[in-house]
Amino acid sequence: MNSSRNICLIRHGGHQQPGSTTFTVGLGFGVVVVHGVPARVCDLCSTDWLDDSVAEKLEQIVEQA
C-alpha cells in the first residue's frame, strides 16, 4: 500500500504532487473561500487532496466564519 501512496485515486496513471488549491465550502449564509491551501494535486486530472492537519485547520476557519 505504501508504494501507491502518491498515485491518484482515480488510477489513470497520474501522481499526486505537492501544490496548493482553493478550498470552497458552502454554508447556510454563503460560501467561504480559502486560497492557497497546501494540498497534493494530481498532475493529470488536478484532483486535490488535503492533509489531515490542513483539513482540521480549515474546519476551525469555517467554524469561526
> Hey, what's the cell of 20?
496548493
> What is the DSSP-derived secondary structure letter of residue 15?
B
Q: Which of residues 46 and 65 has its CB atom nearest to Zn ion in the complex?
A: 46
CB atoms inside a 10 Å sphere around CB 38:
13
Q: Are strands 16-27 and 48-49 parallel, antiparallel or unpaired?
A: unpaired
Nearest approach, Cβ of residue 63 and Zn ion (Å): 30
Residues in 6-45 that interact with Zn ion by CB under 5 A = 8, 10, 14, 42, 44-45
Nearest approach, Cβ of residue 5 and Zn ion (Å): 14
User: Which residues of this chain interact with Zn ion, rule CB under 5 A?
Assistant: 8, 10, 14, 42, 44-45, 47
